[in-house]
């Protein structure tokens, strides 16, 4: 999930700090974005992320316990901001059990 922040700290640091430690390598998101970025600029680039309950999860989290709800509320937006920052001209669709974005 993250490189160096524990579950308690997640609730106490800024989104920019969380963005710095989100590990997009574990699930290969960063390498997929890097690979798409190497394609010619004339190419339409699309990445479909399909995840269940992961730190990107943005759907209904009411069925999770309070601690997990708070962590997902913090990690999801930070991860999405980081993905948007590194994605350049890549169109990204994020699919999760409750729908898609």
Using H for helix, E for strand and C for coil, what is the string for the chain?
A: CECCCCHHHHCCCCHHHHHHHECCCCCCHHHHHHHHHCCCCCCCCEEEEECCCCCCCCCCCCCCCHHHHHHHHHHHHHHHHHHHHHHCCCEEEEEECCEEC
pLDDT at 2: 47
pLDDT along the chain (101 residues), means of 10: 59 82 84 94 91 62 68 80 90 75 60
- 31 and 97 in contact (C-beta within 8 Å)? no
Any domain includes 78:
yes
Any domain includes 59:
yes
Any domain includes 76:
yes
| pTM recorded for the entire structure | 0.71
pLDDT at 39: 94
Phi, psi angle pair for 92, to nearest 5°: -120, 125
pLDDT at 26: 79
pLDDT at 17: 83
| Total structural domains within the chain | 1
Its domain, for residue 70, covers 7-100
């Amino acid at each position: 999930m993250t490189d160096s922040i524990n579950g308690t700290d997640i609730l106490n640091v800024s989104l920019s700090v969380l963005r710095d430690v989100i590990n997009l390598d574990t699930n290969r998101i960063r390498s997929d974005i890097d690979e798409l970025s190497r394609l010619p600029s004339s190419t339409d680039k699309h990445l479909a992320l399909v995840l269940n309950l992961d730190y990107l999860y943005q759907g209904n989290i009411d069925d999770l316990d309070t601690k997990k709800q708070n962590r997902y509320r913090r990690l999801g937006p930070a991860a999405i901001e980081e993905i948007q920052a590194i994605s350049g001209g890549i169109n990204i669709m994020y699919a999760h059990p409750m729908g898609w974005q």
